[in-house]
């Protein structure tokens, strides 16, 4: 868990939903910090293999008791329908509860970023041939993922966004031992392809009509 995620979370113990937990690394870190974590995924097998008691569940239809915090870490762009995922997120958060989103903004990558991504990926052995049209390949690879603007609009329609910043992301995708150096280069050379935000449930005032 990095410093941003730490700063985005309340002190333990909080009741936390990690929706789309994947291999369970974040859920395991949250449990280790003393949070009461429910981890869900369409396919919880990788998380379970890592020792996280993840449930097989689809956030778009998930029902449970209210949570203090819901974390969507690199999962929201995969969730369809996007609106249903965020409707359930809003319904599952207690009043005043916190939404933490760490996301990939694939559609913010331009031709220069896509070219850099495939060139560096090839150097790292991730891709085996030069890419003649990097941006076309990039777009084709991500066409079934929600664009960042749709995610941000759908969050803002349901929550008060407290903090939002655009961040580099490609270095995380490329990973490996050079990730820290790649992050420095990406920050200087390319526009952000990720965003991180915290938001809270809207507090709706009750009026008596007078």
Ligand X SMILES: C[S@@+](CC[C@H](N)C(=O)[O-])C[C@H]1O[C@@H](n2cnc3c(N)ncnc32)[C@H](O)[C@@H]1O
**What ranges make up the beta strands (E) of 62-112?**
67-73, 93-104
Stretch that binds ligand X, among 21-29, 93-101, 147-155, 193-201 (CB under 6 A): 21-29
40 binds ligand X (CB under 6 A): yes
CA distances from 152 to 106, 125, 135 (A): 13, 34, 23
Question: From the CB of 73, what's the least distance to ligand X, in Å?
Answer: 3
Question: From the CB of 192, what's the least distance to ligand X, in Å?
Answer: 18
* 3-state SS assignment for residue 87: helix
Interaction pattern, residues 63-92, with ligand X; x per rule: CB under 6 A: ----------xxx--xx-------------
* Peptide linkage before 89 cis (omega within 30 of 0): no
Which listed residue (2, 36, 43, 184) binds ligand X by CB under 6 A?
43
Residues, the chain: 210
Shortest Cβ contact with ligand X: which residue? 22
Stretch that binds ligand X, among 13-21, 110-118, 123-131, 160-168 (CB under 6 A): 13-21
Pair 136, 68: CB distance under 8 Å: no
Distance CA 181, CA 109 (A): 19
Q: Closer CB to ligand X, residue 75 or residue 201? A: 75
DSSP 86: H
* 3-state SS assignment for residue 184: helix
Which listed residue (59, 82, 105, 154) binds ligand X by CB under 6 A?
59
Question: From the CB of 29, what's the least distance to ligand X, in Å?
Answer: 11
Q: Closer CB to ligand X, residue 15 or residue 115? A: 15
Alpha-carbon dihedral angle through residues 52, 55, 58, 63, given to the nearest 10 degrees: -120
Q: Closer CB to ligand X, residue 25 or residue 115? A: 25
Question: From the CB of 120, what's the least distance to ligand X, in Å?
Answer: 20
Distance CA 88, CA 67 (A): 12
Residues that bind ligand X (CB under 6 A): 19-22, 26, 40-43, 58-60, 73-75, 78-79
């Amino acid at each position: 868990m990095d410093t941003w995620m730490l700063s985005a979370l309340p002190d333990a113990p909080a009741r936390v939903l990690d929706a789309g937990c994947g291999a369970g690394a974040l859920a395991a870190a949250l449990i280790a910090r003393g949070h009461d974590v429910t981890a869900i995924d369409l396919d919880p097998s990788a998380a379970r293999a890592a020792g996280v008691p993840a449930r097989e569940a689809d956030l778009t239809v998930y029902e449970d008791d209210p949570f203090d915090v819901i974390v969507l870490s690199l999962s929201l762009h995969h969730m369809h329908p996007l609106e249903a995922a965020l409707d359930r997120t809003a319904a599952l958060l207690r009043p005043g509860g916190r939404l933490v989103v760490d996301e990939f903004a694939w559609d913010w990558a331009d031709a220069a970023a896509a070219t850099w991504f495939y060139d560096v990926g090839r150097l790292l052995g991730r891709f085996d041939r030069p890419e003649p049209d990097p941006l076309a390949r990039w777009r084709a690879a991500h066409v079934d993922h929600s664009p960042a603007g749709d995610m941000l609009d759908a969050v803002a329609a349901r929550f008060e966004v407290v903090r939002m910043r655009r961040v580099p992301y490609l270095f995380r995708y490329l990973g490996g031992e050079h990730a820290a150096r790649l992050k420095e280069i990406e920050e200087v050379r390319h526009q952000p392809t990720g965003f991180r935000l915290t938001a809270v449930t809207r507090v709706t005032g009750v009026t008596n009509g007078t």
